[in-house]
Amino acid sequence: MTEVLDARGLSCPQPAMLTRQALQKLGKGTLEVLVDSPTARENISRLAREASWKVEIQQQADGSVKLILSK
């Protein structure tokens, strides 16, 4: 089952912090993160790649972005 984290509208550093915690808890698998700020998108992509997670970015119809992180 894919876990989903909705980090839309949250201030720095919460989107990155919550994603990092979720990835550490998950260990392996797939995590979908919803964000709506470019800063959160960049920070999460960077920290996920550095921890060897594959990052796929999907633009959503409402202007937000879904990051699919998998390992």
Partner 1 sequence: MSAISCFLTSRWGPILTGAIVGILAPVLVKLGNPGNMGVCMVCFTRDIAGALGLHRASVVQYIRPEIIGLFFGALIGALAFGEFKPRTGSAPLVRFLLGTFASFGALLFLGCPWRAYLRLAGGDWNAIFAILGLIAGIGIGIGFLKMGYSLGRNHPATTAVGWVMPAVMVALLVLLLLAPQFGRDASGNPTGPIFFSEKGPGSQHAPIVIAIVAGLAIGFLAQRSRFCTVGAIRDVILLRDSHLLNGILAFIVFAFITNLILGQFHPGFTNQPVAHTNAMFNFGGMVLAGLAFTLAGGCPGRQLFLSGEGDADAAMFVIGMIVGAGFSHTYSATATPNGPSAFSALALIVGLLVCIIIGFTMRERKA
Strand order in the sheet with 3-6: 3-6, 30-35, 65-70, 54-59
Of 31, 34, 43, 55, which one interacts with partner 1 (CB under 8 A)? 43
H or E element: which one contains 40? helix 38-50
* CB atoms closer than 10 angstroms to residue 6: 14
Q: Is 20 in the site for partner 1 (CB under 8 A)?
A: yes
Binding segment for partner 1 among 27-35, 41-49, 52-60 (CB under 8 A)? 41-49
Q: Is 52 in the site for partner 1 (CB under 8 A)?
A: no
Q: Is 8 in the site for partner 1 (CB under 8 A)?
A: yes
Binding residues for partner 1, rule: CB under 8 A, are 8-14, 16-17, 20, 36, 38-39, 42-43, 46-47, 50, 63
